[in-house]
Amino acid sequence: MIDLDGFLKIIEEGQGVSPHTLKAYRSDLNSFFAELKENRGNPGLAEIELHHLRLFLSDLISRGYAPATVARKAAALRAFFAFMHRQGKIASNPATLLKSSPGPRGLPTVLSSQQIDSLFQVMHGNGFINIRDRALFEFLYSTGARVSEACGLQIGDLDIEEGIARLLGKGNKERLAALGKFAREALDEYLPLRQQKAQARADQHVFLNDRGGPLSDRSVRRILKKRLLAADLPISISPHSLRHSFATHLLQGGAGLREVQELLGHASVNTTQIYTKISPEQLREVYLRNHPRARPVSDS
């Protein structure tokens, strides 16, 4: 028997995974079992072997799925079969030796300082929406928070005077984040308006929609896309790009890798190291600036 709901409940409560990850895992596992039924003779749970898992992932790679997506599906399979083994539903775990080869991880999308300025310039103006959007995106860029952390932020998590915010990250792990000057000013302007919106529903979330309810992850992405269009910036930029930019700009400014790891809430410094990679554009700039045969020859 496939106890998918039981598995998802256990990892939600025990590991504190996000609703987005739960939804993705459900989809990943459903697609795996659908593929078994359609193409592999529909084996029972106890009959599933390692080669079934490998064939599933290989097929995804051949169909052009992104390496990160394949890696996530492999993680879902490993977690699910480990759970079923612990529950005694299967005698052995076929996913013990399952590995995914996502390949080299691409460089994250990072906004330049000029792009950051352009983004905030289109949020100038009065009214709840403009003021809230300034506070929201200044907060994301100032703290490096994940969008889910910003959406879950409560009034009691903010200390504007001290310039700190308490974030609840992956696995329900708390960390303190710093609020810079611009973020503090934007929040100071926003919070009185937020209080008016929240009164009807007594909502404790910091970032609210126009009806006084909490903003969702999807709403933040939709708002950002609208602002990117107004600023003539690529709409491929996501709220997570502000987190990438936060980390990259700190490192470029001289911050240490360990300090940035703590600010991002990464469990391992290996995750943070991606921000130390140099883009092709940066390499070309360094080359042109420093190689004696790369610089243009001056007129004689």
- Give residue 170's pLDDT: 76
Residues 44-86 pLDDT 10s: 888 999 888 988 888 888 787 888 888 889 989 999 999 889 8
**Is 145 in contact with 167 (CB distance < 8 Å)?**
yes
* Residue 230: pLDDT band with limits 50, 70, 90: very high
- Give residue 293's pLDDT: 63
- pLDDT tops 60 at residue 104: no
**Is 252 in contact with 244 (CB distance < 8 Å)?**
no
Residue 130's identity, in one-letter code, is: N
**Domain 113-280 part of CATH 3.40.190.10:** no
- Residue 97's contacts (CB-CB under 8 Å, 6 or more residues apart) are 50
Residue 56's identity, in one-letter code, is: F
- Whole-angstrom Cα distance, residue 184 to residue 180? 6
- Residue 90's contacts (CB-CB under 8 Å, 6 or more residues apart) are 45, 46, 48, 81, 84
- Give residue 300's pLDDT: 44
Domain boundaries, the chain: 4-86, 113-280
- Whole-angstrom Cα distance, residue 153 to residue 65? 34
Mean pLDDT of the chain: 84
- Whole-angstrom Cα distance, residue 182 to residue 123? 13
**The two domains 4-86 and 113-280 share their CATH topology (first three levels equal):** no
Q: Which residues are known to be catalytic? A: 146, 170, 240, 243, 266, 275
What is the CATH code for 4-86? 1.10.150
Residues 248-295 pLDDT 10s: 888 888 888 888 888 888 877 776 777 766 556 666 666 676 666 666
**Is 48 in contact with 64 (CB distance < 8 Å)?**
no
First to last CA, the chain: 82
- pLDDT tops 60 at residue 173: yes
Report pTM. Answer: 0.64
- Whole-angstrom Cα distance, residue 267 to residue 142? 20
